[in-house]
Amino acid sequence: MKKVRFTQIEGGQGFWALLAILGAVIVAGLGAVYYMEHNGHWVTGMNNQIVWGMPHVFAIFLIVAASGALNVASIGSVFGKTMYKPLAPLSGLLAITLLAGGLAVLVLDLGRPDRLIVAMTTYNFKSIFAWNVILYTGFMVIVAAYLWTMLDRSMKKFSGKVGFVAFLWRLILTTGTGSIFGFLVSRQAFDEAIMAPMFVVMSFSFGLAAFLLVLMVTYRMTERPLGDAVLFRLKNLLGVFVGGVLYFVLAYHLMNLYATEHHGVEAFILRDGGIFTALFWVVQIGLGSLLPLALLYHPATSKSRSMIATAAALVILGGFAQVYVIVIGGQAYPMTIFPGFEATSSFADGAVNSYSPTLAEVLLGFAGIAITLAATAVALKLLRFLPESLGDEQVVAKAEDSAAVKAAA
């Protein structure tokens, strides 16, 4: 059996330049946080009608992608697909760093980020937010343990069991994230049980797209071989996940379109919502779903590395648009407080709420991405996360060996 050698990445000039750029983005984001917290949130685009804005779009995207990034490891250890096993350490690492980036954005946007310790110690267990605090910290701990079983030979025997727990935990975690919206009985765009499974499938898609991009960029930058076998397997899987998200989006809107009480919010998102309608059809569905599907499966593009990378980037772009439409679009649509009445007031009753994200909010969001990437890069430099080669002869030989061992057993 051909052995996979895991090594640290070499810290050349490119590595340090990357860290410097990411560091600058993080510093800019922290500056934005100081500006927003010092003045108060009135300097942001958020207000009393759109209370969750751009930071939440970034945070939710990253948190959802985090649990999805772990899928590659799960496929290896829970579902026994040997080809994925060499990818497991990077998968676990990305799961942790994506979550860290997302949580950083979420926490730094709080009205009182200085009270984080209150959130960690005072729980209302009926709140899905409180559950999420436990789910997020638990995820970090479990995936860290999972990584330990991968990297420490003496712990390897626990890898399967810990991997299974991590897999279950990540499903619960994304169910919790989707439930943040599913549990909101007051708002016409939310209050749907389908939110939870839809977020789970979104996580599969966003997480794998992020993993694929990081894998391709890292192997290119470090000049390590990355064979077609691994890459094509992953890109086919990405296509399946993108299709899965489309199915849930279709089911969500079909259900809403059937019920008269939801016609207003559907007309808003699908037809009359201006920026939200454009984001939904053009970015989420067109650029973020249909185009990647075509790129990933069409014979003319499906074997091209640049096209596969483009498709993954488009899935991420579409994912951001999807979260934006869900989070901001759901708040922009006027809340139905008095069914059957037209309402007007000084507090935007009956009016479509507008939101213009400010630079500070966007900088905070990008700082979250930078935290993810910087933490990933540093970890890859310090620990042996990456196989020296994911070339076809390496990966396919290993998979065949493993199959042969199993057959013999």
Partner 1 sequence: MSEQMHPDFSRREFLSQSAKLAAGVSLASGVMLYGVAEAKPSAEAVTSKVRWGMLIDTNKCSSGCDACVKGCNEWNGLKDHGRPQTDAQWIRKVDLRNKGTGSVHSLPMMCQHCEKPPCADVCPTGASFKRADGIVLVDKHICIGCRYCIMACPYKARSFIHEDVTDQRPHAPRGKGTVEACTMCVTRVDEGQRPACVEACNTDGHKAIIFGDLNDPNSEIAQTVKTYATTAIRADLGLNPGVRYRGI
* Interaction between residue 13 and partner 1 (CB under 8 A): no
Residue tagged 């970034």 (tokens): 58
CA distance 253 to 262: 10
Q: Do residues 249 and 283 lie in contact, with contact meaning Cβ atoms separated by under 8 Å?
A: no
Is residue 398 classed as helix, strand or coil in its secondary structure? Answer: helix
Binding part of the chain for partner 1, among 35-43, 166-174, 234-242, 313-321 by CB under 8 A, reads 35-43
Taking CB under 8 A as the criterion, the residue among 260, 299, 347, 408 binding partner 1 is 347
- 258: exposed, middle or buried (Cβ count in 10 Å: 0-12, 13-18, 19+): exposed
Does residue number 124 form part of the binding site for partner 1 (CB under 8 A)? yes
Report the residue number, 48 or 154, with the smaller CB distance to partner 1.
48
Residue 225's closest CA among 58, 30, 394? 394
Judged by CB, which is closer to partner 1: 74, or 256? 256
Q: Is 260 in the site for partner 1 (CB under 8 A)?
A: no
C-alpha 49/C-alpha 272 separation (Å) is: 19
| Contacting partner 1 within 363-402 (CB under 8 A) | none
List 116, 144, 151, 294, residue binding partner 1 (CB under 8 A):
116
Stretch that binds partner 1, among 93-101, 123-131, 245-253, 317-325 (CB under 8 A): 123-131
Site string for partner 1, 178-217 (x = CB under 8 A): --x--xxxxx------------------------------
Q: Which three-class secondary structure state does DSSP give residue 397?
A: helix
Buried/exposed code over 193-215 (b: 16+ C-beta within 10 A; e: otherwise): eebbbbbbbbbbbbbbbbbbbbb
Near partner 1 by CB under 8 A: residue from 7, 49, 82, 310: 49
Nearer to partner 1, 135 or 147 (CB): 135
Under 8 Å CB-to-CB from 283, ≥6 apart: which residues? Answer: 317, 318, 321
Question: What are the φ/ψ torsions at residue 276 (nearest 5 degrees)?
Answer: -70, -40
Residue nearer to partner 1 on the CB measure, 41 or 384: 41
By CB under 8 A, tell whether 139 contacts partner 1.
Answer: no
The residue among 166, 197, 148, 203 whose CA lies nearest residue 73 is 166
Least distance from C-beta 373 to partner 1, angstroms? 26
Residues that bind partner 1 (CB under 8 A): 37, 39-42, 47-49, 51-52, 110-113, 115-116, 118-119, 122-124, 126-130, 132-133, 180, 183-187, 331, 335, 337-338, 340-349
